Amino acid sequence: MIIVLGPDSTGKTTLAQKLGLPYYHFTKDSTYEDYLKPLCALEMTDAVLDRHIICEYPYYQIMKRKFGFTQKQWHNIILLTLIQNPLFVLCTHKPEQHKYEKDQYMPYDQWDRCLALYKLFLSTHRIRYVEYDYYGPNHGLTERTQVLP
C-alpha cells in the first residue's frame, strides 16, 4: 500500500495515477465507511491511495471546520492502515503563487502551515515517510525520515 499525502497542488493525483497500481481516491467528503470497507477486505494491500484520513488533521485546523470523524473512527482507520505497513509519500512541491489555482480548497497563504502540520503529525506519531517533490533531484525523492528506536 502506498499512501500519497500533501497540501493542495503538490502533484498527489498525478503521482498516484502514474504508479500503475489499483487506485483509490479519497476526499474531504469521504466517509468512515468509504475507508473501512476496502481496508477490512484487504483490497488496498497492493494499491495506491490518493489522500487518506490523515489529511483530515491539517485541513480541519487550517479550514477551521469540524473534524470529520469520531475519535473511535479515526483510531480504527489509522490502525487498520498501519498494520498493512504502508509507504507514506508526502508530496512537498510548492507551486508558485501565480500558478496556484484560485478555486483550490485551501488558501495559498496557508500552504506552508499545511505542510508543517503533515510533518508534525507524521513525526509525532513516528510514522515513516518519504518526501517527494517532482522538481527535485533523485526523481523527486528528497528525504526519507528516520524513526528513532
User: CB–CB of 26/145 below 8 Å?
Assistant: no
Q: What is the pLDDT of residues 73-102, one digit of tens each?
A: 999 999 999 999 999 999 998 888 887 777
* 143 φ/ψ sector (left φ>0, alpha ψ -120 to 50, else beta): beta
Stated pTM of the model: 0.86
- The predicted structure's pLDDT at residue 39: 87
pLDDT of residue 142: 53
Predicted pLDDT at 42: 80
Q: In what order do the strands lie in the sheet with 141-144?
A: 23-25, 48-50, 2-5, 87-91, 129-132, 141-144
Q: Encode burial over 25-51: b for 16+ CB neighbours within 10 A, e otherwise.
A: ebeeebebeebeebbeeeebeebbbbb
State the Cα–Cα distance between residues 41 and 77, nearest whole angstrom: 13
pLDDT reading at 145 higher than 60: no
- Please give the mean pLDDT across all residues of the chain: 87
Q: Which grid cell is 8?
A: 493542495
φ, ψ of residue 142 to 5 degrees: the values are -100, -25
Predicted confidence (pLDDT) per residue in 13-69, tens digit: 999 999 999 999 998 899 999 999 888 888 778 899 999 999 999 999 999 988 889
Structural domains of the chain in order of their starting residue, each with its CATH number: 2-144 (3.40.50.300)
